[in-house]
């Protein structure tokens, strides 16, 4: 019992800052959309829905930068090999710069492709293109910040990402108010405020790193940083996480595309609901981040009993938290809808599909928690495999079988998708745990 209490205390010391930090990311998106929604112009909301979806898709697609650095640095930390963990940070920063430059070069091709696929209305397309073009200048700052935050989590310093994202969020909100309310700007003001906030977050991340870690005591040469034996570990894990995240992005694109086909009000309502789901999932991801750090440390020391203890506690707390969130959504329905929008038509659409919001935390908590376990264990091969199964064997057939239900078919298919992710990861968890093969890694 005492062992469980110590583990639970250790877990919450990780989880609460990770949870608050995660909430800061989608909170900015919710505030952006809500601020434009209250301007009473649906075109603005539809434009930022498409534009922010494009920006989020790029960030999600390359979020493997943070995930891979977390898993690798947690393993190095567990082995008490600080030099190796610093090497992973340098490699992650170099990789993030290369990726961001490639994305900036290809941004117009990406934008044109999305507009062609979505076939969005002319006015909304113009707003979305403005938003995406401005926000894309923040990608180098965002990707480098992700690498540093992933390293902090792996190094068992969960409070540092919280400081970074709180600074980013408050800067974003401040400049949104100044530019939109003070200077009368619309989409461009929201986008510029977000760019300023993203680079503020990077500056805070670099400052925290400089003040708290004496990185310069380790000397690395180019042949060591780019050595195949070490850099290849990062590339292998990133490739698997990239394919996994590409599947997630496909699902998000598909849902937006189907909403556009139904109508502008449905698109606006769904965009606000998905922003809220992102907020909820980010809160639940606090347990996933805790699992990443503690699982990576436990397995690097080959301590399977500690590994099982941490997975058990993080899973149980994730389930309890999801139930609590669903209860809040039920009790606060009217207030939540009012906070999202004051446009009656959109509020009505949200109310019609609100039941999916209530159920989503319960459906999705399993896959978020298990994602953290598998990232910490560096078993990203399993994450890639289960995502592909969930998309092509469950999500698409579910939508096709129910597409006569209009918007309900989108939410039904998405719900089946997150449930399938949890089930397939649970099956892989059982198999590996039964055979005691968690210690397999790329280190």
Which residues lie closer than 8 Å to 72 by C-beta, 6 or more apart? 85, 88, 154, 233, 234, 237, 378, 442, 443
- Please say if the pLDDT value at position 396 is more than 90: yes
CB neighbour burial string for 297-323, b if at least 16 within 10 angstroms, e if fewer: bbbbeeeeebbebbbebbbebbbebbe
Between residues 378 and 427, the one the model is more confident about: 427
Over pLDDT 90: what percentage of the chain? 21
> Structural domain boundaries of the chain?
2-435
- Please say if the pLDDT value at position 97 is more than 50: yes
Over pLDDT 70: what percentage of the chain? 79
For residue 262, the SS3 value is helix
Q: CA 25, CA 336: separation in Å to the nearest integer?
A: 19
Band of the pLDDT at 341, cuts 50, 70, 90? confident
Q: What is the pTM of this model?
A: 0.77
Q: CA 204, CA 210: separation in Å to the nearest integer?
A: 10
Give the single-character DSSP code of 158. Answer: T
Q: Which two tokens stand for residue 50?
A: 């498409």
Encode pLDDT of 4-59 as tens digits.
Answer: 555 566 666 666 666 666 666 656 666 666 666 555 555 666 676 677 767 777 77
């Amino acid at each position: 019992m005492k062992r469980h209490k110590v583990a639970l205390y250790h877990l919450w010391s990780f989880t609460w800052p990770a949870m608050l930090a995660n909430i800061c990311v989608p909170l900015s998106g919710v505030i952006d959309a809500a601020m434009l929604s209250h301007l009473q112009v649906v075109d603005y909301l539809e434009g930022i829905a498409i534009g922010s979806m494009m920006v989020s898709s790029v960030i999600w697609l390359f979020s493997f930068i943070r995930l891979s650095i977390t898993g690798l640095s947690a393993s190095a930390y567990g082995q008490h090999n600080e030099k190796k963990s610093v090497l992973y940070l340098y490699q992650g920063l170099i990789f993030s710069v290369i990726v961001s430059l490639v994305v900036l070069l290809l941004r117009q091709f990406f934008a044109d492709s999305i507009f062609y696929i979505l076939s969005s209305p002319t006015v909304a397309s113009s707003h979305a293109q403005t938003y995406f073009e401005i926000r894309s200048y923040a990608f180098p700052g965002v990707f480098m910040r992700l690498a540093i935050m992933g390293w902090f989590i792996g190094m068992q310093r969960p409070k540092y990402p919280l400081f970074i994202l709180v600074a980013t969020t408050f800067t974003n909100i401040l400049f949104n108010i100044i530019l939109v309310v003070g200077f009368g700007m619309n989409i461009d003001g929201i986008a510029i405020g977000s760019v300023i906030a993203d680079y503020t977050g990077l500056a805070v991340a670099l400052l925290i790193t400089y003040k708290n870690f004496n990185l310069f005591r380790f000397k690395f040469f180019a042949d060591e940083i780019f050595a195949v034996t070490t850099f290849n570990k990062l590339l292998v894990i990133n490739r698997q996480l990239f394919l996994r995240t590409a599947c997630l992005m496909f699902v998000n694109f598909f849902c937006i595309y189907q909403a556009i086909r139904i109508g502008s009000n449905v698109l606006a309502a769904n965009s606000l609901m998905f922003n809220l789901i992102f907020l909820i999932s980010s809160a639940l991801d606090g347990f996933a981040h805790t699992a990443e750090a503690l699982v990576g440390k436990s397995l690097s020391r080959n301590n399977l009993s500690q590994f099982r203890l941490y997975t058990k506690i993080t899973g149980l707390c994730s389930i309890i938290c999801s139930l609590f969130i669903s209860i809040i959504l039920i009790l606060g329905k009217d207030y939540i809808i009012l906070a999202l929008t004051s446009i009656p038509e959109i509020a009505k659409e949200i109310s019609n599909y609100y039941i999916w919001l209530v159920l989503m935390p319960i459906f999705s908590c399993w896959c978020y928690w298990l994602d953290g376990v598998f990232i910490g264990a560096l078993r990203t091969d399993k994450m890639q495999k289960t995502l592909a199964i969930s998309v092509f064997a469950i999500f698409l057939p579910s939508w096709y079988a129910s597409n006569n239900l209009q918007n309900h078919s989108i939410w039904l298919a998405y719900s089946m998708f997150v449930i399938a992710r949890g089930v397939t990861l649970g099956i892989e968890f059982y198999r590996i745990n039964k055979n005691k093969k968690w210690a397999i890694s790329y280190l």
